[in-house]
Amino acid sequence: MEKMYHTHTLPNGIRLIHRQNNSDVAHFGLLVHTGTRDENSEEHGLAHFMEHMFFKGTRKRSAYQIIFRLEDVGGEINAYTTKEETAIYASFLKEDLKKAVELIQDIFLNSLFSEKERAKETEVILSEIQTYEDTPSELIFDHAEELLFPDHPIGRNILGSKESLNRFRNGLVETFRNENYATCELVLCSIGNIPFASVVKIAEKYFLDLPGTTRTRPRVAPQATHKQKQVVDRNTFQAHCIIAGKAYSYKHADRVALHLLNNILGGPGMNSRLNMALRERRGFSYSAESHYLAYTDSGAVNIYFSCDKDRFSKSLEVTKEELKKLRKNLIPEKRLVYARRQLLGQIAISSENSEHLMLSMAKSHLLFNRVDSLPDIARKLEAVSADKLRDIANEVLDPANLNTLIYK
């Protein structure tokens, strides 16, 4: 049986993971285990700012040359920052792999962070912040995490603020990079119809000379608050609400079971309990969902809905009743069979997107040094019982452990 993926570790600790396919389009990316949770208070937003600045000029390329390097041959390059990771990745015709790897290496290692580009990009990010603040359905999620994890960087938003952005200079950038960007926490990833030996050769050509490093800035686990209620007057047309609480970390034994419980409660399926209760049966809400976020040493669950203000009290009551049902009642076995199959199907469908699959594969390799196959995931889901789900609901969805944030 052919291996699902191939791995290699460079002498400097950088890991490489590759999956073979039959497409003319290939993908290559770099994932480093550093995000906004690694920032000090004066660095708020720095990880995201650096992601932007990677594209604004290196020692041998201008910002325009970076843009055109892959786009001239039909490729695309992009990046993102989360609370715990930064990624740079590209899609291109398979014969352009070397161009993509060299470009990603150049912008990751040789970006100049010039004052002219810094000032320009600060304005771009400030515009991004203003757009974000005008979107209460997105803003409330970060606000809820700030309420859950106060005075900890994992509770702060990713974008930063006007005050923090104006503090960013090369000295701060270099300190952050040196203390957080460790080769032992860096994964190179690729998917394409390219022999693995060729991928290794090209990766070593551009990343082998990077000295091996380890993280020198330790991470401190966040402490969660409980049973906080905050009502904010946002003068919005609709009311928005999040019920949020602490959840399991990546390494927790019941992480997969909590993913299943969350999917039953408010996952993307139209048949989630929240969507059925608030939208389909009553017509109270267009958007009702829940999310489970796992971090290396903690996690969060966010139960969200929006509705007309005159329906808010009833919508909140219905939502709390759905949480109570999960704590009190066992999910019928027939329904549980469908729920397992639904989550497995969602994972399989998302894996059809090769770019998404590559980044997901890289993150799993980064955190666990392995990638679970679909049969592996199916076995883990089969092991989740109705009793286990009720036990988790009583722990994670206990009203004594939940905060409530309301925008009105």
* Concatenated DSSP letters of 352-406: TSHHHHHHHHHHHHHHHSS---HHHHHHHHHT--HHHHHHHHHHHT-GGGEEEEE
Measured between alpha carbons, how far apart are the two ends of the chain, in Å? 57
pLDDT for 3: 65
Query: Residues 35, 96: one domain?
Result: yes
1 has pLDDT over 50: no
Among 29-38, 115-124, 284-293, the range scoring the smallest mean pLDDT is 115-124
User: Which of 13-27, 159-173, 347-361 has the weakest average pLDDT?
Assistant: 159-173
Out of 207, 242, 263, a domain closes at: 207
Q: Are 121 and 168 in contact (CB under 8 A)?
A: no
Same domain, 193 and 289: no
Give the pLDDT of residue 283: 97
Question: Under DSSP, is residue 342 helix (H, G, I), strand (E, B) or coil?
Answer: helix
Burial of 134 (0-12, 13-18, 19+ CB in 10 A): exposed
* Of the candidate ranges 95-99, 128-132, 239-243, 287-291, the one whose mean pLDDT is the lowest: 128-132
Whether residues 246 and 301 share a domain: the answer is yes
Say yes or no: 307 and 188 in one domain.
no
Range scoring the smallest mean pLDDT among 65-69, 167-171, 257-261: 167-171
- Percent residues over pLDDT 90 in the chain: 93
* Domain identity same for 194 and 233: no
Nearest CA to 94 among 203, 241, 199?
199
Q: Tell how far CA 391 is from the center of its chain.
A: 27
Task: Give me the phi and psi of 114, to 5 degrees please.
Answer: -65, 155
Q: DSSP label at 271? A: T
The average confidence (pLDDT) of the chain is 96
Do residues 153 and 237 both lie within one domain?
no
Residues 262 and 342 grouped into a single domain: yes
**Domain at 127, CATH number:** 3.30.830.10
318 and 274: one domain?
Answer: yes
* Across 3-21, average pLDDT: 95
Whether residue 52 lies inside any domain: the answer is yes
Instruction: Please report the pLDDT score of residue 166 as a whole number.
Output: 86
299, pLDDT greater than 80: yes
Average pLDDT over residues 335-354: 97
Do 121 and 153 fall within a single domain?
A: yes
Measured torsion, CA atoms of residues 267, 269, 275, 281, in degrees rounded to the nearest 10: -150
What range does the domain containing 172 cover? 6-207
Report H helices in 54-135: 63-71, 97-110, 115-133
Across the range 148-176, mean pLDDT stands at 91
Tell me whether residue 212 is in a domain.
no
Please say if the pLDDT value at position 158 is more than 60. yes
Is residue 155 located within the same domain as residue 254?
no
How far apart are alpha carbons 148 and 224 in whole angstroms? Answer: 5
Q: What average pLDDT score do residues 145-163 get?
A: 95
**Domain count across the chain:** 2
Q: Does residue 74 come out as left (phi exceeding 0), alpha (psi in the -120 to 50 range) or beta?
A: left
Residues 196, 273: one domain?
no
Q: Are residues 252 and 147 in the same domain?
A: no
User: How does pLDDT run across 203-262, given as a tens digit for each residue?
Assistant: 999 999 999 999 999 999 999 999 999 999 998 899 999 999 999 999 999 999 999 999
Distance CA 10, CA 31 (A): 15
Q: Is residue 1 part of a domain?
A: no
Q: Is residue 221 part of a domain?
A: no
Angle subtended at Cα 221 by Cα 216 and Cα 223, rounded to the nearest 5 degrees: 150
Q: 306: which strand partners? A: 240, 287
Query: 224 lies in a domain?
Result: no
**190 pairs with which residues across the strands?**
18, 28
User: Given this model, what pLDDT does residue 235 score?
Assistant: 86
What count of other Cβ atoms lies within 10 Å of the Cβ of residue 181?
21
pLDDT band at 16 (very low <50, low <70, confident <90, very high): very high
Domain boundary among 158, 175, 207: 207
Task: Specify the DSSP class assigned to residue 167.
Answer: T
Confidence at residue 39, expressed as pLDDT on a 0 to 100 scale: 96
Q: Assess contact for 390 and 327: CB atoms under 8 A.
A: yes
Q: pTM (2 decimals)?
A: 0.95
